[in-house]
């Protein structure tokens, strides 16, 4: 797993990649700025489980390569993966949209034995505290 200083260097590298700079920060060396990292290190950087990171790799969504017995992900590919996920992200639903989605198809009154009518929530409706 990554040490704290390694994680900082990698996060800086990804930030520089976002600005269009793919080389190391001036003053760094190749030993402090890896070109590729392991799948568990990818998971650590992204804040996801190793299982999810491996799923992305095995599906081919996150390009990787084998070097000896290790499977590695190039930082450039990791940046492209993050960029594509961000570009395809859906905006967070509003509170009313979230409530409407939760209650769609439930009986009126929110319990079994209601009229069977789906609950409809307007965006302007106020939500009453219980």
Query: Six-digit token pair at 71?
Result: 């499977």
> pLDDT category, 91, cuts 50, 70, 90?
confident
pLDDT in tens, 41-68: 999 989 999 999 999 999 999 999 999 9
C-alpha–C-alpha distance, residues 115 and 118, integer Å: 9
Q: What is the dihedral of CA 120, 121, 125, 127, to 10 degrees?
A: 110
For residue 67, the cross-strand partners are 70
> What residue spans of 32-94 are helical by DSSP H?
39-46, 50-59, 75-87
Question: Do you know the residue count of the chain?
Answer: 130
DSSP letters of 83-99? HHHHHTPPPPPPHHHHH
pLDDT in tens, 10-46: 777 777 766 666 555 666 655 456 788 999 999 998 9
CATH 1.10.10, the chain: domain bounds: 4-87
C-alpha–C-alpha distance, residues 42 and 9, integer Å: 13
pLDDT for res 130: 46
Pick the CATH number of 4-87 from 2.30.110, 1.10.3470, 1.10.10, 1.10.860: 1.10.10
């Amino acid at each position: 797993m990554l040490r704290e200083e390694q994680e900082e260097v990698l996060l800086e590298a990804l930030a520089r990649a976002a600005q269009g700079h793919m080389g190391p920060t001036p003053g760094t060396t190749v030993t402090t700025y890896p070109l590729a990292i392991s799948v568990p290190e990818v998971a650590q950087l992204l804040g996801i489980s190793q299982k999810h990171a491996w799923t992305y790799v095995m599906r081919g969504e996150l390009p990787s390569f084998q070097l000896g017995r290790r499977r590695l992900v190039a930082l450039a590919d990791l940046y492209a993966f993050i960029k594509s996920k961000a570009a395809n992200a859906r905006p967070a639903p509003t509170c009313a949209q979230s409530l409407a989605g939760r209650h769609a198809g439930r009986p009126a009154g929110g319990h079994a034995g209601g009229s069977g009518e789906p609950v409809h929530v307007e965006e302007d409706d106020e939500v009453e505290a219980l």
